[in-house]
Structures are given as structure tokens and as C-alpha cells.
Chains A and B, each alone.
Chain A
């Protein structure tokens, strides 16, 4: 019987397999950041252990880093201690680190791919659930907890029970205004925040094959929001083109050997998935969330749902609580929801293509009065490229704030936060209560919807904008 992509990569990394025990898997790439690593390094120190493979380990700073005045000492003393702890640990154990101010610094999941470290057929882990992002390259990539970070540091392996596999096939073609973000939000709304639990997802089908690497990363990134630890996409010419020539991509003979191997990394025709979901791309539309978990979303053209319409008691209850927290009423048009802040950035949508998309919408327009728009590149490299293309000027001319790279408003660990009751349209991945700051209310959107929302001041898509602009001109 054939094997799925996930099974192939899994099998290629088994160090030890024994009846009744989890497989011991070899880890090709271990990404570190300041939040989930201090207790792991502490554990090493306590037990007199070393980092086994510094050549497979790399660290950067992202969650706590400010996006303004980065040359000044970090104001929050607790954030500062956490960053200093990472610097100390990396120096002590010999781990390569890209700290704030370095040209390779940025959100860990933007940094790995752009260095060419994330490659097809590798196992990638990081103490961060959005490690699933790297699956876009056909890597088996998943988030781990701090105990596992310590385990990988010490042994370069992880004991893991083999997950099941789920195929998510996106047939047909995405309509012009529908982005990868809309697609993944729609998938999560369909299968639920627990739908992918216990599975490695494989996104496949005609619509996926057409997507750029950036778009594929957006999709795999949010696999965790569907409950799956990992999401994968089979590597193809798009993947190889993206990697070719990058800093850490193989070269010469190694490149040829690598590509030959990478080409074998797809699910066999006769491979059997434990579960399958099919989505018709043509049926999709721009999608936004209205609630406090990423599964609580709907097409932008829809209304806020009535909790009473849910048959399942716990879903009904969750919807009621969500509407109360979000300050919304059932039946209200999603397009009528006014926002205070727009955030473009994060490991979901902080790549160059995302910034281009948002810039193309705000170009020649201005951010609505009373709305604050933050544009935060996912990494310094992304920032530099955007500046090269003049995107920063487009944003600032429209009245948006152009910031330094980092996680920023994706989560309330650094100075970029929502005030209580403040409402945002955000290109990030989590709309949990208080995720962007205590009492903050988050609507997850694509970069295009974020930009259109910034211009109009209420949830909107670029299509709405053309109408509005035409009206103004007429």
C-alpha cells in the first residue's frame, strides 16, 4: 500500500521503533525563541547536558521585541530579562542567535524559510505552535512544549506517537478576491477548532498547487487553529524555485540530490488517509471571524450568527459568550462592524506578498479617521525588501504606521496592544479573548480585507472600496 506525504517524512526520521513505544524521531531543524526556551536551557544546565547539535539549532527574538525605538533599552524589565536570558543561553551553549537589531531577526517562522533552512522532507520543531507554518515546504513541522525543547536540545530527537493523516482537498480555482487566509479560515469554520486534532493535515488539490509559497505558509500556519499540530503541502516546482539560491539551501551536487529526493515527497496514488475533507474553491468568498475562536468565522457578506441557531449546546454557549465578549449582536451585518485598529503582520500574514497585497489596496487612499493601522513586517529581511519596493512609503502616505519586525500585536507580550474594549481587524491567527491585549476584540482577516477595512473604518473587502472610491470621485 502507498504512503502519504506525512508518513514518508515520518518514516525517514525514525531513529528507533519498538512495539508499544512511541517512535523516536530525529529532528533536522530546531528553532528557538525567547519565550519557551529559558526553562529548557535551565534543565540542561541542571543536568550537566550540552546542546547536542548546534548545527541544527538557531534562535531569534520576536515575541517580546518592541517595534519602535529598537535602539533604546527595552522598557519592560521582564521582557528585557527574557531577551537577555536567551542571549546568555545562546552564548553559553554556542547556539546561533539573531537578536533584535540583526538583519536576520524576525518572527521565527518567517526567519527559517527565508534563510532556506526550512526544506522539504525535514522535521522542524520549535517551542511555538505555529511551527506548522513550515509544513508548506513539505516538511513535517510542529510546535512543542518546553520539556520537549529541552529534550531536542539534549538529544536532537523526540519520542512521538504517530498521528493519523487527513487529506484536505481544495478542488477548483479560488475566485479572484479570495486569498489563502480566507481559504484557511473557511476550512477551520468547516471542520472546527478540534477537527484536525490527532491528525497531520495535508492540503492538496488544484487550488493549492497554484498558490505561492507565502500563501501556502499562511494556510499551514493556521493548521493548529484547526486542532492539528502539523499541516503539509507536497513540494513542487514552486517550492524548489523559492528555495534555490537561499543562504542555507543546498548547492551544486547537493542541490541535485536534494531535488531528486524532494520529488519523491508526495502522497502515493494509492495512499490511504484516515480522514478526508473536500472543499470547493469556487464556493469561497472573503472570510472574517466574529467570535473568540478561529472557528467562529463567516463570509464577510454574512451577518453575525444567532447563537440560538446552534444545535450543539456547547457551541451555542460558546457563541453566546463570544458575542458578549465581542460586543456584537446576532443578525448584525459583519460589514457594519467598525474597528479602531488594523494590524497587518504576524507569522500568518507578515511576508512580502502580504505587505504587497495590503499596500496595493491602500495605495492612493487614506486610512479612515480615528483608525490606527499598524504594518509590521515579519522579519527585517521582509522589511528591507518592502522598503526597496517603496511599500513603506505607500503605507505611511496612507496614514499607516510602518514598524520594525516582530510578533507585535499578534499577542500581548510587547508594547503593541489593544486597549480594553478596542476592536481590531487583524491578519494574525488567534482571536482569543485578550490575545491582542486585555479586553481587546479581534476579527481575523486577510491582508486585503485588513487594508480595505482600514480605509473604510468598518470590515470591508477591496471590492467595497472600489465602489466607495468611485462614489467619491463621482
Chain B
């Protein structure tokens, strides 16, 4: 996983609430067996509309998505995160993320930042008025900065440490091999097994 310390970029204001994972990446894209190449599937249905914000020339190359509340609801598909990353987004800001989506994003190094809706509103106003306005998401200081806006955000220390260092979970867990083996040896005999006796 790529480490994330701070990122500065132009933004896409996505004024919609409840953007579900079927909108982020429609189901037919889930047939791919790789982790890349999902950029064209991102918001596929909406992108057919030339007026959709992602299609606007001034939003090309933007890397910060400022989204409405309840972003990422619906399925557990990690493809939603990959699609955002493949497209070029480094971070998503919203007042509320769906749990699984949030977990998936942090595991893949896509920083999801929770800010109060009023701050999101101000970011929207700013970047709508000035498409060149840049937003800085600073994980080191846990702060979002843009012209006239400074907002602190929270992220638990463990998730932050992993992101800052680009650490992958599996290798961290495998350091606890002894604890896992000890747990396994104490499991009751009645627990289910998928192998037929």
C-alpha cells in the first residue's frame, strides 16, 4: 500500500447524498479479476450526462472528491475504492461514509476524511466558485486546508499510523502467529468445519 502523508489537489464537488456503491462502480464492472482498469466504470451511469460534474473540463485532473453525506453505502465491493483510485482520486471528503466503504478505503490508502456538513458546504462553495482552488488534506496534522478554511478531522491512531507508513495489514497480523495458534488450539470441538467428517 502506498503511504499517505499529505495531499494537495483540485477538487470535484459531488453534491449528492447517499451515493451508493452501485453508482460508484456498477455491478457489471465487478466481473474483472484485476485491481486496475476500473477508471472508466467510475460513476458510469452519471458520466453519460455531459453536464455531470466529473465531465466538466475544469474538473479534469482533480484528485480530491468532496462528496455528500452517506457516501459509499450499499455493497462491500472494494472495486468502488479501486475505481476512485484508478480515476486519480487520492482522498474523499464527506460528512458521513458507509462503514464498509470506509474500511476498504483506508486499507487501500484512499484517505476518507469526515468533516461536518457545514465545512463540506463551504468546500463545495469554494471549489464551485473557483475550480482552480486547491484543497490540502494533511494526515500528519489531521487537518484539511483550503482558501479561508481550516478544519481538523479525526482518524483513529492505528489507521493513521498504517496509512502514514503504508503498512499492509496481513504482515502486521502475521507477527501475532503465536497468539493465533494459541487461540486455534483452544477452540471447542463443536465449532463448524467445512470439511465433511
Contacts and interface: CB of A to CB of B under 8 A. Distances in A.
Contact of A197 (B68, B77, B96): B96
Interface string B75-93: 1111101000000000000
A109 interface: no
Interface stretch (A53-61, A234-242, A359-367): A53-61
Interface residues of A, number: 86
Interface in A127-148: 127-129, 131, 143-148
Q: Could you say which interface size class chain B belongs to? A: 35 or more
B195 interface: yes
Contacts of A434: 22-23, 26, 45
Contact of A194 (B33, B81, B96, B100): B96
Contacts of A257: 188-190
Given A56-B193, A81-B31, A413-B27, A156 B170 contact: no
Interface stretch (B58-66, B102-110, B129-137): B102-110
Contacts of A372: none
A148 B174 contact: no
Contact of A144 (B35, B100, B179, B196): B100
B100 to A, nearest CB: 6
A45 interface: no
B170 A151 contact: yes
Contact of B194 (A82, A117, A150, A155): A117
A129 B45 contact: no
Contact of B76 (A54, A129, A151, A321): A129
B99 to A, nearest CB: 5
A213 to B, nearest CB: 16
A301 interface: no
Given A26-B180, A28-B191, A432-B74, A317 B17 contact: yes
Nearest to B31: A78
A369 to B, nearest CB: 31
A47 B168 CA distance: 12
Interface in B93-119: 96, 98-100, 103-104, 107-108
Given A15-B183, A148-B103, A413 B28 contact: yes
Contact of B45 (A42, A229, A433): A433
A318 B18 contact: yes
Interface of B: 16-18, 20, 22-23, 26-28, 30-35, 45, 68-70, 73-79, 81, 96, 98-100, 103-104, 107-108, 156-158, 169-170, 172-174, 176, 179-180, 183-184, 187-196
Closest 8 interchain pairs by CB? A145-B104, A38-B33, A258-B190, A143-B76, A145-B78, A146-B78, A254-B190, A78-B31
24 contacts: A16-B176, A20-B157, A20-B158, A36-B78, A55-B193, A78-B32, A143-B76, A144-B100, A144-B103, A145-B77, A147-B104, A147-B169, A155-B173, A197-B99, A229-B99, A257-B190, A261-B188, A318-B17, A412-B27, A413-B30, A432-B74, A433-B22, A434-B26, A435-B27
